[in-house]
Amino acid sequence: MSRCPATLLLMTALTLCTAATASAQGRPLNPFGRQNLIFGSLLPGVRTTVSRLDAANAGQFEVRGQRLTEVEIDLTLPAALTSTSGRTLPLEFGPADGGISSTAVIGASTAFDPRVPVRWRLSTNGRAYVFLGGSAVPGPNQAGGTYTATVVLTVAYTGN
């Protein structure tokens, strides 16, 4: 049985609303990926799940902005990982696969559904930390190889 190494790469995107920027006194939002979501070596037909609380393998983002302002965080999640030859490996994200916190402590994060935008108030130091778990679901005849995909995090001030 061959193993399929798989990594879900994190990328960030930045979206600012003009009115929200003004309410945040001109401080831009700065989101960035801290750690990739890593599924590791997979076996055909064997589902592999990474918890949002898994510090070694969960995806991690950091958002920096104006302290104590509300932001909306939206994750664009891929339906599958893709190999360089175009083969796909299905992914699933559930209602508690997202986590968000005012600190970088993964165990202190509050669960949320990463398929739905979430609103969060930045901490007193202007930070939010987003954690992402999920499941890779290789088929019984999944071909070996390296599979990757991109998660896009979009964040905007809400004006609140």
User: 141: which DSSP letter?
Assistant: T
Q: Which domain holds residue 11?
A: 4-157
**Cα–Cα distance, 73 to 15 (Å, whole number):** 10
CB 65 within 8 A of CB 27: yes
Q: What is the pLDDT of residue 21?
A: 37
Q: What is the pLDDT of residue 159?
A: 87
27: Cβ contacts below 8 Å, ≥ 6 apart = 65, 66, 126
Per-residue pLDDT of the chain (160 residues; tens, 9 = 90+): 455 565 555 444 433 333 333 345 568 899 988 999 999 888 899 999 999 999 999 999 999 999 999 999 999 999 999 888 899 999 999 999 999 999 999 999 999 999 999 999 999 999 999 999 999 999 999 988 888 888 989 999 998 8
Q: What is the pLDDT of residue 101?
A: 98
Q: What is the pLDDT of residue 148?
A: 87
Q: What is the pLDDT of residue 14?
A: 37
- What CATH number should be reported for the domain holding residue 149? 2.60.40
CB 141 within 8 A of CB 44: yes
CB 16 within 8 A of CB 26: no
Looking up tokens 């991109």 gives 150
**Cα–Cα distance, 151 to 130 (Å, whole number):** 12
CB 4 within 8 A of CB 145: yes
